[in-house]
Amino acid sequence: MRLATWNVNSIRTRVDRVTDWLARADVDVLAMQETKCSDEQFPTMPFAALGYDVVHCGFNQWNGVAIASRIGIDDVAVGFDGQPTWSDKPDVEAAAEARALGATCGGVRVWSLYIPNGRTVDSAHYVYKLQWLAALRETAASWLADDPSAPIALVGDWNIAPTDDDVWDVEFYRGSTHITEAERAAFGAIVDAGFSDVVRPFTPGPAVFTYWDYTQLRFPKNRGMRIDFILGSPTLAERVTHAEIVRAERKGKQPSDHAPVLVDLVDP
């Protein structure tokens, strides 16, 4: 099974790039973030033409998460238990944020996650980001407590660079979100709950990034961040035989500002 995640930064703008890569890379399951469209607007047909079923959660031009699978999609869940909402309206469900979508594909429980950005460290959105991560940690830990052998993949754009090596210049980001102690601790808490970074062992070293801003020639200068991850439960981690960050997909015409990240899993 080949599982991938990709912040596509508008699926309607980049559907041809995404489906072309799916075919070339022989991906079985793709989790997408920042689709930036409603369910009705999602371009399902190009995926269907390649044999993929798609589930999507999106409401407007912000956020949006999806899963495309050619090996089945079962037990779809929009949002996870305890997921906070940014809205100040008590009757608005967390699902309206369109940040978390779960489905079982080929026996693996896949969660496509778009963690809140946080904006600035003095913003209420930063507090919300930490609350969101804490809720995810609590709920994900409960999944493993209920079934320690469950193959679970928490994948997506985490909007956190867990180590100094995961940014091109830590001093450049000093005082900004993505590298604060609290954010890194929140990411570490999910790892401590039993979900390991299954890509890093195959992509070691500093300056190995998944995101590059469009401005100031950041990509050709490799001034990026590593913020897209696949975290696997113990059972899933044991099945990983290969992983990579597909940097070449950040090149070319109208790319996303993120590169896809993929893992290969052996059959259980």
Q: Which helix (H) or strand (E) holds 29?
A: strand 29-33
Q: Averaged over 231-253, what is the pLDDT?
A: 98
Q: Is 159 annotated as a binding residue?
A: yes
Terminal CA-CA length for the chain: 10
| Joined tokens for residue 36 | 């930036």
Catalytic residue among 52, 114, 128, 211: 114
Does the model's pTM come out above 0.85?
A: yes
Mean pLDDT for all residues in the chain: 96
Helix axis angle for 124-146 and 181-192, nearest 10°, is 10
Question: Would you say 7 is a known binding-site residue?
Answer: yes
| Position 186 confidence tier, pLDDT thresholds 50, 70, 90 | very high
- How many percent of the chain have pLDDT more than 70? 99
- Per-residue pLDDT for 91 more than 90? no
pLDDT at site 93: 78
Q: According to the annotation, is 34 in a ligand binding site?
A: yes
Q: For residue 241, is pLDDT > 80?
A: yes
Q: Is 157 annotated as a binding residue?
A: yes
Instruction: Respond yes or no: is residue 157 known to be catalytic.
Output: yes
Q: Please compute the mean of the pLDDT values over residues 235-264 and round it to a whole number.
A: 97
The answer to whether residue 166 scores a pLDDT higher than 90 is yes
Asked if 258 is an active-site residue, the reply is: yes
Rounded Cα gap, residues 9 and 103, in angstroms = 21
Lowest-confidence segment of 58-62, 135-139, 156-160, 194-198 by average pLDDT: 58-62
Residue 69's closest CA among 119, 107, 31?
A: 31
> What pLDDT digit, counting tens, does each position of 99-128 carry?
999 999 999 999 999 999 999 999 999 999
pLDDT in tens, 25-58: 999 999 999 999 999 999 999 999 999 999 999 9
- Give the pLDDT score at 16: 97
pLDDT value for 95: 74
HSE-CB of 156 using CA atoms within 13 angstroms: 29
Binning pLDDT at 50, 70 and 90, where does residue 17 land? Answer: very high
Of 52, 56, 128, 157, the catalytic one is 157
Torsional sign, CA 82, 86, 88, 91:
negative
Q: Report the CATH superfamily, name and number, of domain 2-265.
A: Endonuclease/exonuclease/phosphatase (3.60.10.10)
